[in-house]
Amino acid sequence: MIALASDHAGVELKTEICRVLEGLGLEVEDLGPSEKKSVDYPDYAHLLACAVSDGRIERGILICGTGIGMSMAANRHPGVRAALCHDAYTAEMARRHNDANVLCIGARVVGGGVAEQMARVFVETSFEGDRHQRRVAKIEREES
């Protein structure tokens, strides 16, 4: 299960990424919004981050104009490791080395094709563990 949420700037891109992920056979939950009417991005970041934090969903994707606000809000939740990425390589490394469970994308920064590629890489890449597990554990320790 993967969930997506956005603010008004990310509605179109979120809809496209949902279609791509469903095409990969994933169960996708769209947490909103569904129209471009102005909304406050922290509301949607917190909604998705709570679902990750309490284990209702394994991973999520957040989209706003730059991705910055979404990542800042999401990372306030225990167990959430939200990574603001700009290309497929950063999305891959966020998963492989940091065990990121939330991908943040800037709809006004990244083109649609690149964003779709990032989403695919994010859901298809596994965490390497090993030496990286020790580092992720240090992130978690600082949260408590």
Catalytic amino acids? 64, 97
Q: Is 23 exposed, middle or buried (0-12, 13-18, 19+ CB in 10 A)?
A: exposed
Q: Cα-Cα-Cα-Cα dihedral of 67, 128, 80, 114, to 10°?
A: 20
**Tokens 């991005």 map to which residue?**
41
Q: Which residues contact 102 (CB under 8 A, 6 or more apart)?
A: 48, 49, 52, 59, 60, 61, 62, 71, 74, 80, 81, 82, 83
3-class DSSP state of 56: coil
